[in-house]
Amino acid sequence: MLIARSTDYAVRALKYLAEKNQETSAAELTRELKIPWPFMRKIMQSLGKHGLVASRKGPGGGFLLAKAPEKIKLTGLVNIFQGPVCLNECIFKKKICPNRKTCYLSKKLGEIEEHAFLVLDRITLKEIIEGGHNHG
C-alpha cells in the first residue's frame, strides 16, 4: 500500500485546517473528518512534533497550520507516518540477495521507484486542496 491510513488521515486533517484557516479544535476535526479520536490524537501529535501544525491547549484551544500548504509535501507526510518511500522491496526481505547488483528486475524496479518518488515529491498540500489544478 502506497499511502497508509495514518498518512491519509494526516492529509485530510491538514487539508481541513488549511481550508478553514483558523484555529480548529480536535473535537471538530474528529467530528467533521469522521476519524476516530485515538487516531486523530496521534496524528496531530506527530504533525505538531514535526512542525506542521501549532497547537494551543485548554478550553478554546485547537490546531492551526504551522507551514504554508505549498511547503507541505506528500512525501514528507509519508516519511513521518510510514517511513522512507520504498516501492522496490525484494521478496527475500530477510536475506541479502546475492544477485542484487546484477538483477535486471531489481534495476528496472529501482528506476520505476525513482520516477515514482520524483512525481510524488512534487505533490504538495496546496495541490491536493486545489484538486491538482494549476491556478496561476
Residue 136 lies in a domain: no
Residue 135 lies in a domain: no
> Quick one: pLDDT at residue 85?
66
- List all residues 6 or more positions away from 116 whose beta carbon is below 8 Å from its beta carbon: 85, 87
pTM above 0.85, yes or no: no
Q: Provide the domain limits for residue 16.
A: 5-129
* 54 phi and psi angles, rounded to 5 deg: -110, 150
Alpha-carbon span 107 to 119, nearest angstrom: 19
C-alpha cell at 103: 538483477
- CATH number of the domain residue 44 falls in: 1.10.10.10
- Taking only the tens place, the pLDDT of each residue in 56-77 is 887 778 999 999 999 999 989 9
Residue 65 lies in a domain: yes
Number of domains forming the structure of the chain: 1
Query: Residue 54 carries which DSSP code?
Result: E
Residue 32 lies in a domain: yes
| Mean model confidence pLDDT for the chain | 84
Highest mean pLDDT (candidates 27-31, 81-85, 93-97): 27-31
